[in-house]
Amino acid sequence: MAILNLFQYVKETVTFLPGHVIYQEDETSTGVAYVVLQGEVEVTIGGRVVETVTAGGLLGELSLIDNKPHAATCTTKTEVKAAPLDQPRFLFMVQETPFFAIEVMRVMADRLRRERDHV
């Protein structure tokens, strides 16, 4: 929920309807990550559900770091309101709010551990 606190008052948001594919696995990065403000997003790798991201969750952060294709497919389960996070804003947040950088690393570490434990 800590990331959500940093984005709860952001004015620029997007809304995705249920069933919308935000990212497709192996698709070229759009250069935009999202902080989920409301709703649920199902994350799948190779067709297997690995996570359901809810309010305060982060999607697409890897592509902001390495500019490689998306590692997972992210599909909305419900209507989702999200705050877009492009690379300049991401870099600003990391520089100005070290806590944000730690939270992003926690998200990545949690996902890596879950994936490793599932194999």
pLDDT class of 1 with cuts at 50, 70, 90: very low
- CATH for 2-118, among 1.10.10.10, 2.60.40.1180, 2.60.120.10, 3.30.70.60? 2.60.120.10
Q: What is the mean pLDDT of residues 84-112?
A: 89
pLDDT digits (tens, 9 = 90+) for 22-44: 999 999 988 899 999 999 999 99
Query: Is pLDDT larger for residue 118 or for residue 32?
Result: 32
Sort 104 into a burial class: Cβ within 10 Å, 0-12 / 13-18 / 19+. Answer: buried
pLDDT class of 118 with cuts at 50, 70, 90: low
pTM for the predicted model, two decimal places:
0.89
Quote the percentage of the chain above a pLDDT of 70: 97
- The secondary element (H helix, E strand) that includes residue 6 is helix 2-7
**Token pair of 62 as six digits:** 């890897």
Q: For residue 69, which amino acid is it?
A: P
Q: What is the mean pLDDT of residues 92-110?
A: 89
**Token pair of 58 as six digits:** 């982060």
